[in-house]
């Protein structure tokens, strides 16, 4: 998102590196797995790849956080017994 882009640009302003950007982290992951390189991707998306050592976390690089928002319609979701537990896991 915009906040991540701003943080990333500030951290790497003088890096002089090639830059490829994807609007979808799944596309970024697919590109990374097929072509190699480095990327900032959501942990939940790469957790399996870290566990099987097909990807790894680089030491000494800036880390970024991003906010995740969730909205719901209480009337529409009132019968979803699993929803509150799922929200608690976020």
Return the SS3 of 53. coil
Q: CB-based contacts of 74: which residues, under 8 Å, 6+ apart?
A: none
pLDDT value, residue 32: 92
pLDDT value, residue 48: 96
Residue pointed to by tokens 């302003």 = 13
Return the SS3 of 51. helix
pLDDT along the chain (90 residues), means of 10: 68 68 89 90 93 93 80 90 85
The model's pTM: 0.62
Separation of alpha carbons 77 and 29, rounded Å: 32
Domain boundaries, the chain: 2-88
pLDDT value, residue 53: 95
């Amino acid at each position: 998102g915009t906040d991540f882009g701003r943080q990333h640009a500030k951290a790497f302003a003088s890096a002089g590196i090639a830059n490829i950007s994807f609007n979808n982290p799944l596309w970024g992951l697919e590109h990374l797995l097929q072509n190699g390189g480095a990327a900032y991707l959501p942990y939940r998306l790469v957790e399996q790849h870290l566990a099987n050592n097909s990807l790894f976390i680089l030491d000494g690089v800036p880390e970024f956080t991003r906010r995740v928002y969730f909205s719901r319609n209480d009337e529409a979701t009132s019968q979803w017994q699993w929803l509150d537990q799922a929200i608690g896991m976020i």
